[in-house]
Amino acid sequence: MNQLSNEVTKDQLIADFNVVVADAEALLKATANQGGEKLAEVRARAEASLRVAKSRLLDAQNALVAKTREAAKATDQYVHEKPWNAIGAAASLGLLIGFLLGRR
């Protein structure tokens, strides 16, 4: 359950980070016509930071996809090797959820 929570948090973090990057890019485009040496220097640093952030985000997304695929393969292999254990676990979980929902 904790693993699922971590994956949801990672997904949310990636989505939030994408929004921040998009907003920063829009801000840089909006200030492109503004003059001044100091502003140009700050804009250049921001653009470099965005390139690095995008690269790291892409790496994080690729790692998350790879881990998800590995987990799916491991689950598929386990279910094929021990189908009755998987059926029992699914039935137990369904029973538990049904019991908890029935109490409401």
Number of domains in the chain: 1
Summarize the confidence of residues 49-71 as an average pLDDT.
84
Give the model's confidence band at 3: pLDDT under 50 very low, under 70 low, under 90 confident, else very high: low
* Dihedral sign for Cα atoms in the order 59, 64, 69, 74: positive
Domain that holds residue 77: 2-102
pLDDT in tens, 14-36: 777 777 777 777 777 777 777 77
State which amino acid sits at residue 75.
T
pLDDT value for 74: 93
Among 58, 33, 29, smallest CA distance to 46 is for: 29
CA dist., res. 96 & res. 2, Å (int): 18
pLDDT value for 15: 74
Evaluate if residue 53 carries a pLDDT over 80: no
CA dist., res. 10 & res. 7, Å (int): 5
pLDDT in tens, 85-94: 989 999 999 9
| Global confidence as pTM | 0.51
